[in-house]
Chains A and B, each alone.
Chain A
Amino acid sequence: MKRLLFRAFPFVAGLMVAGTTVSFAQDDELTLYTQRHYAFDEELQQMFTEETGIKINVVKANADELITRLQEEGENTPADLYMTADGGTLSRAAEAGLLQPIQSEKIMESVPKFLRDPDGRWVAITQRARVIVYSKDRVAPAELSTYENLADPSWRGRIAIRSSSNSYNQSLMTTIIAANGAEEAEKWAAAVRKNMARPPQGSDRDQIRAIAGGLADVAVVNTYYVGLLETSEDAKDREAAAAVKLFFPNQEGRGTHVNISGIGIVKGTKKADLARKYIEFLLSDKVQNMISEATFEYPAAKTAKWSEMQEGWGEFKADEVSMSKLGALNAEAIRMFNRAGWE
């Protein structure tokens, strides 16, 4: 008997593995490749399924990894939708021919022009402003003005900012290149690096915590992190959020850098109709309003409302440079970071 079990086990194991492998997606299901990993997103997906009966299968990974995966899978990819948390990556995916035009006036018109692809291949779902946060105790708002100003020697040893490998910083960099030209942008990166309180490490949250701990005086982070920290379950997080304030840079000039979280329909999918339904769902007022409450990102739709906390931070002018322009500059941005020694 023992021998029988011993011999049978590998086959059973193999069958179990094999059985779970063959996955034929049903007709009323969508497969979404997304970079976003919020619990809120899952709630949204469930809501969508309840409303429409369409199930959403999710593959979560880094946006660039997903691009590679889409490229290799080619026609045989199971993906129908592609979603990122960064505009540069989204536009790169479009340029790489991985997305098809959404072909819906309704969808396109629901967001401002600079938040959608001129060729109709993607659309923003949320906006993410990248702002300066500063220590309430040690910095006066009057000292702050623009991103470019952070290169000033007066900030030596006072800036906390995360690694250049992060796409949010890369996108910011692309706007600086677009606004000031390559040479100036590279000088800026080198100067900011010199001003850092410590070598780049950790996430945006860690930068805020660094300010709270007294190590730095200012940091460049996405706004919604402040919101997330303020409402965090961890008391230390809430303390950190309480120690800083938000400042929207470049209000006199082009406006604060705004990145997007957006979505597109994967080329070659047979379910474009269903995919459009999901995008419409995400851009509906109901969902857009929920977004501002849940993740503290700014909604993309023109008619959406902001949450109280966002109202509290105040209105601001957003840099309306086109996302597709920025996508092309990403590689250059990274090279500049490398040359400037910004790890």
Chain B
Amino acid sequence: MNDSPLLSFRGVTRQYRQQSQPALDAVDLDVERGELLALIGESGSGKTTLLRLAAGLEEPDSGSVYLEGKCIAGDECPGAMVPPEKRRLGLVFQDGALFPHLTVSKNVAYGLKKFDRDRVAHCLETVGLTGKEKRYPHELSGGERQRLALARAIAPEPRLLLLDEPFSHLDPILRRKLREEIRCILESLDQTSLMVTHDPEDALAVASRVAILDRGRILQTGVPSEVYRNPADQYCAERFGPANRVVDRESGKNIWKRPEDARWIACEIADEGDMVTVEHVRPMGHIYEVRVAPDEYDGETWLCFLKDASLIEPGERGRVAWRGSPEPVAWKS
């Protein structure tokens, strides 16, 4: 079993002419075999650029990109960049980029050297589109289109699958469903994948490892639940949802706590937690969102998710304490 990473970036920098900041700034990153690495970041963080560099749709300005240990672009192999069609990668585009003038089966077969009916049938079955061979992309529903995009990408058995915000065009319910299905498919194929998304739930649901980008730099990598629990800074914390800055009593450092870890202590004179004033309370179906203003954090507020806040009123005074980290969950890394 090969130990070396499938895809590597070393010191990769990319700057667009119109912008003053580089899109990617000396980035180092590895994608290990068999893993699904999710790149998370705001728009403009450089995650899509990284993906396109991997695909060969763009070239790095400095640094190098390696595929299976061999340089495919950059300083290490100047003038010898491997063009996209020779890299044997798959890419699932944001909006599918399906060929409108070809049928479903022709779309899937597009990347094959010869039209292989069995392979096409197998791929369609894998994604659950059997029976739709003769349809055209515009005749499929949104979810079916993404599945077709996946089938087309995996048909030529790519070494690495790239996914560019594959669920962003779908409504939330469909998104949940498709996420789960795709994760199963990719796992069953043992397909190494690199996914770009701005939706933290995608990463948490699908990825085995996550990397957070901000303005061209990687801030943190790790198992999703780990990063969720222990974000490196505010930016990383906020990728996954609201986070509250809490100053750790012992070390004096900032730590980041999730709203669901908040505990409400109605008593003002308890010796754990901090004094807060409640600003507002909103029932959100499964939990209550309660925003409080801690006394010792001038101007800042905390967001707390409480199971039952029916008795809490705005203006009330109380204490909020934070639960500790849970045991690490077994996760594929």
- Is there a contact between chains A and B in the complex with CB atoms less than 8 Å apart? no
Residues of A at under 8 Å CB distance from B?
none
Residues of B at under 8 Å CB distance from A?
none
